[in-house]
Structure 1
Amino acid sequence: MLLKTLARSKLYSCGRTLTNVKPLDYVKCIRLRNFSTSLSRSEKLYTEHLESLHRDGVRFGQPTQFSHPHILKTDELAIGLLPSEFADRRNRLMQKIKEHCVKYGKPSRNIVIIPAAMKKYMTGKIPYFFRQNSDFFYLTGCLEPESILVLWMEDEGQSKSALFMRPKNKHEELWDGPRTGVDHSVTFFGVDEAHPLADVAKFVEKYVSKSKSVNVWYENNDEIQPKLYSNLRPILSTTTLFQSPLEFLHELRLIKSPAEANLMRKTCEIASKAVNLTMQQSKAGDSEHHIHARVDYHCRMNDAQFLAYPPVVAAGNNANVIHYINNTQVAKDGELVLMDAGCEYGGYSSDITRTWPVSGKFTPAQEVLYEVVHEVQKELLNVVSTVENVTLDQLFDLMCFRLGKYLQEICVINKSLNELDSARRAGYKFCPHHVSHYLGMDIHDTPLIQRSRVLTPGMVFTVEPGLYIPANSSEVPQEFRGIGIRIEDDVLYTKDGAEVLTKNCIKEVSELKKLISN
């Protein structure tokens, strides 16, 4: 009854009366109109229709609010995100491209092609865990592999969207689980059209052939779907060049919406709790692998999908290998453990580093170096909150300078280095990585955005000063050798300054001692 009611309504009638329509006719009809606009007006209608399909036994290629109510809330297409959010992202992307073309005198006809990730295999038919292409997920909310999103401009300037999906296949679904297929993709994902995956080249060719001047926006250097480029290239004239849409996408992804900010808060909350529990349960004699397993366990038990990246769990001198991920050594009594770990929740990632004494007690040298790093981080966070027009590159320069000055004070380096540049160079020698990177759907998010960009409300980034003094550093006093320390927090920049999303992850010396001794 609900399907017939929807079909009779003006909202879904496509300008004609539909009193006795079959479900497939209904889906074909709504392809003809801008379904995404209706989603922004009424998430409720979207939910009612999904409920009807669920009752009819329709299964989709990813969780829904009815199949997985413990994961998705009412009206959500993806965790924490409504269908209208994805429609708005698509519209803003096309608006950015349109403005770019007007500014630079490019053709007004534009078509954008964004592929989903492919399944990858360890060996034979044994797959790696699937993770969706972030740009594709950002624009669709779709978690299915091999799909393709196409966006284009109509002659009157209106933007449209289509998903090209794997067709339903009983045999394949027996082994790999349900697919959404073509027929229900319009309703489920809120796009204007849906077509079989095999038709994408024909669709693009038809659009491009209508005009001699078309901008084709496709990142052909990316190997997400290698066959896609080889299928598209022959249908385009030799004068039609692919142009990458990634710069526009990264501009959009850089500034988090309120819903995205809440997802960032949640993923950071999960990781903070997991890191605290992992530090508390660690002890001398644990292997780095065991500590790795604990942080993974605690993240998943608090609803993270998985770890956001292979964690660094580095005991003793291993901490001086900045991207150490072997995690095979034993943490000995008296050593520090540096752990860099984060989780992914709803497609958004956290990134935390904490360093602690595995036995619960710092040596004097360990504690003084730890306090240097902690003090520098506090100064940097204060700058973010109090100084206008600051950039991540400026934070890096400040970190290098302050580390150099503090290392002079504790006699790790020569006190005669009085010049600003000399102190900076000394700081950089002992912390050879940047102090910050953008954070979001990816750990090193939006890499096309320069770190010389002035911080703007909605940006999320890390603040992660460190000190690394390898065991063979003969120019450093003996007691400081073999110590590596990093403290990393995730920050949401707001109109009021810095909101530290990982503030509940313990890092004060007194609190660390208390946590681990308990």
Structure 2
Amino acid sequence: MFRNKSLFKCQVRFKDILTCLCSNAAKVEQKPPTTSLNFISQPTHFSHPNLLKSDEITPLIRKNEFKDRRKNLMNKIAQFTSQQSRSSKEYVVIIPSASKKYMSDKIPYFFRQNTEFLYLTGCQEPESCLVMICNELESYSSVLFIQGRDSHSELWDGPRICPSNVNDFFGIDQGLPMAEFENYLQLYLKLKPRASIWYDILSPIQMNTHNVIHNILKTGRNNMVESPKIFIDQQRIIKSPAEIELMRKTCQIASEAIIKTIETSRPGISEHEIFATVDYECRMKGAEYLAYPPVVAGGKRANIIHYITNNQIVNDGEMVLMDAGCEYHGYSSDVTRTWPIGGKYSKQQRELYEAVLKTQLDVIDLILGKHLQEVGLISKRISNDGLLKAAYKFCPHHVSHYLGMDVHDTPSITRNIPMRPGMVITVEPGVYVRDNDESVPKEYRGIGIRIEDDILITENGPEILTKHCPKDIEAIEKIAGKGL
């Protein structure tokens, strides 16, 4: 739909004006002696040839794939604009990066890039912003605003990429200092007063960018502001071949790490030690960090769905429910296993575990309720119509969500759409029986079990990405007994 090389004349003049506006900033920019891509703010083929090929921006993701993502996004917005029969087809898309966050004075939290920004650029720099503009001839251009080189800041925080290297490394048309973002946007809206602004104003990611946009809109402009999130999520929900390989790897790492963690567990171990083991094993196998604070819940604490305190002792006779995953070059895994700390499930633990495992394998609506009827947790007098409500009492969460760059990936996409090849989902039924629930037999009270795997939808059926992490009772007991 877009003709990248036939830019509208007004847009060309606009870029010329911006070049002049930014020239002064470029002159005062403090640059270290080298502007080589050998040493910038993230790994490159030159600095990490073991990790990246010459045309890859991030591992396995090539420059052309990022270009296609940006083009596809602009196409989707153009199609939507056309369907709405709007008088103006000009628009600007603004995707900010994440900002550094601090736990205390000058002590930063670990930086994690805004997923949408990373998906469209591959850039890991904080306080940056991607801007893409479309004109009446349906051509578009892209600009990456970044902080730029500064010797004092780089002394403390490490190297930054120079705006002049943006095109070479990221394949984005132009790089400009972040300090010029406000001038750029004001000038664009002056030249294109009817242009719509595609920016998620209700969920600000970076306050520098957000404040600029908010202040411009406060001046009385009547530009339509809409979020591009749904269009980005529509692209992200179907994984490319490269993304699928990254998903396979992150799931393999998590699976192997969980096996090792189960092997080394024993009665009297603390939940914190189990947490530390899975974290260590994931990192030693290549993951950058865990994808989320893990749930390591011993005994009745497994009934707290998002239990992350992880500071109690796990005693003999109890089970451990661990929900953990890792992030590998921007892609997340999400796995849950429940095992007996003493190496053997009790009769009641085994019965409920088998019910959950059957449910996960069947993945059929209401089947959880039927399995709980079989073990006596739900009355057999309840009809099928009442089973779902009864089962919800014992499993109050969804049994599936999308998975990808984020753990709860593409949240704007409904769960009700048909499965398509390239989607990755979790399957995670659970049973949680409160220790004070007098409506169930006493011997089941306090038991919490969840089993979760990551599934790739393919044309030939589901591929279990976490298949290397055992979940059968006999296999779990064999692994859990090794640490005794």
Q: Same fold (TM over 0.5)?
A: yes
**Between 55-64 and 167-176, the greater mean CA deviation after superposition:** 55-64
Aligned-partner residue type, residue 373 of structure 2:
Q
Q: 1:334 to 1:502 in 2, by over 3 A?
A: same
Q: Give 2:466's match in structure 1, choosing from 502, 505, 509.
A: 502
Instruction: Say if 2:147 is the partner of 1:166.
Output: yes
1:274-302 residue CA offsets vs partner (Å, 9 max, x unmatched): 01110111111110000000000000000
Shift of 1:474: 1.0
For 1:288-367, what aligned pairs fall within 5 Å after superposition? 288-367=271-350
Report the equivalent of 1:105: 85
The CA distance in 2 between the partners of 1:57 and 1:243, in whole Å, is 36
Shift of 1:231: 1.4
SS in 1 for 2:182: helix
Report the equivalent of 1:49: none
Q: 1:438 to 1:284 in 2, by over 3 A?
A: same
Report the equivalent of 1:85: 65
Q: 1:55 to 1:176 in 2, by over 3 A?
A: closer
* Contact 2:266 2:342 survives alignment (8 Å): yes
The CA distance in 2 between the partners of 1:495 and 1:55, in whole Å, is 46
Structure 1 spans left out of the alignment, 5+ residues: 1-27, 29-52, 381-394
Instruction: Say if 2:372 is the partner of 1:372.
Output: no
Instruction: Say if 2:208 is the partner of 1:227.
Output: yes
Report the equivalent of 1:47: none
Shift of 1:233: 3.1
Q: Give 1:446's match in structure 2, choosing from 400, 410, 414.
A: 410
1:444-482 residue CA offsets vs partner (Å, 9 max, x unmatched): 111110111111111111000000001111111111111
Q: Give 2:194's match in structure 1, choosing from 213, 231, 234.
A: 213
1:3-52 residue CA offsets vs partner (Å, 9 max, x unmatched): xxxxxxxxxxxxxxxxxxxxxxxxx9xxxxxxxxxxxxxxxxxxxxxxxx
The CA distance in 2 between the partners of 1:477 and 1:235, in whole Å, is 63
Instruction: Say if 2:240 is the partner of 1:275.
Output: no
Q: Give 2:56's match in structure 1, choosing from 76, 92, 97.
A: 76
For 1:138-217, what aligned pairs fall within 5 Å after superposition? 138-217=119-198
1:285-332 residue CA offsets vs partner (Å, 9 max, x unmatched): 110000000000000000000000000000000000000000011010
Q: 1:225 to 1:57 in 2, by over 3 A?
A: closer
Instruction: Say if 2:467 is the partner of 1:513.
Output: no
Instruction: Say if 2:43 is the partner of 1:63.
Output: yes
Report the equivalent of 1:95: 75
* Contact 2:37 2:46 survives alignment (8 Å): no
* Contact 1:79 1:346 survives alignment (8 Å): yes
Q: Give 1:483's match in structure 2, choosing from 423, 447, 450.
A: 447
Report the equivalent of 1:244: 227
Shift of 1:56: 5.5
Report the equivalent of 1:253: 236
The CA distance in 2 between the partners of 1:191 and 1:345, in whole Å, is 25
Aligned-partner residue type, residue 227 of structure 1:
N
Aligned-partner residue type, residue 69 of structure 2:
R
**Between 507-516 and 54-63, the greater mean CA deviation after superposition:** 54-63
SS in 2 for 1:204: helix
Report the equivalent of 1:284: 267
SS in 1 for 2:296: strand
* Contact 2:37 2:165 survives alignment (8 Å): no
The CA distance in 1 between the partners of 2:104 and 2:37, in whole Å, is 35
* Contact 2:37 2:44 survives alignment (8 Å): no
Shift of 1:70: 3.1
Shift of 1:183: 1.6
Aligned-partner residue type, residue 414 of structure 1:
S
Aligned-partner residue type, residue 270 of structure 1:
I
The CA distance in 1 between the partners of 2:317 and 2:324, in whole Å, is 22
Report the equivalent of 2:118: 137
Report the equivalent of 1:35: none
* Contact 1:154 1:160 survives alignment (8 Å): no
* Contact 1:402 1:427 survives alignment (8 Å): no
Q: 1:109 to 1:480 in 2, by over 3 A?
A: same
Shift of 1:421: 1.7
1:393-432 residue CA offsets vs partner (Å, 9 max, x unmatched): xx5xx1xx11211111111221211x21211111111101
Shift of 1:57: 7.6
The CA distance in 2 between the partners of 1:288 and 1:73, in whole Å, is 40
* Contact 1:435 1:464 survives alignment (8 Å): yes
* Contact 2:82 2:89 survives alignment (8 Å): yes
Report the equivalent of 2:377: 412
Shift of 1:268: 0.4
How does the TM-score come out when normalised to structure 1?
Answer: 0.84
Report the equivalent of 2:12: none
Report the equivalent of 2:10: none
1:150-207 residue CA offsets vs partner (Å, 9 max, x unmatched): 0111342112111001021001000000000212112111100111101112112222
Shift of 1:210: 2.0
Q: 1:202 to 1:54 in 2, by over 3 A?
A: closer
Q: 1:58 to 1:413 in 2, by over 3 A?
A: closer
Aligned-partner residue type, residue 344 of structure 2:
K
Q: 1:465 to 1:371 in 2, by over 3 A?
A: same
Aligned-partner residue type, residue 50 of structure 2:
H
Instruction: Say if 2:439 is the partner of 1:459.
Output: no
Q: 1:177 to 1:309 in 2, by over 3 A?
A: same
1:205-228 residue CA offsets vs partner (Å, 9 max, x unmatched): 222222332110011122311232
CA-based RMSD: 1.7
* Contact 1:162 1:195 survives alignment (8 Å): yes
The CA distance in 2 between the partners of 1:70 and 1:325, in whole Å, is 35
Report the equivalent of 2:394: 430
Shift of 1:235: 3.2
The CA distance in 2 between the partners of 1:488 and 1:404, in whole Å, is 18
* Contact 1:168 1:179 survives alignment (8 Å): yes
Shift of 1:58: 5.0
The CA distance in 2 between the partners of 1:363 and 1:494, in whole Å, is 38
Structure 2 spans left out of the alignment, 5+ residues: 1-18, 20-32
The CA distance in 2 between the partners of 1:55 and 1:177, in whole Å, is 14
1:366-392 residue CA offsets vs partner (Å, 9 max, x unmatched): 001000000111111xxxxxxxxxxxx
SS in 1 for 2:127: coil
The CA distance in 1 between the partners of 2:34 and 2:258, in whole Å, is 39
SS in 2 for 1:285: coil
* Contact 2:424 2:454 survives alignment (8 Å): yes
* Contact 1:116 1:132 survives alignment (8 Å): yes
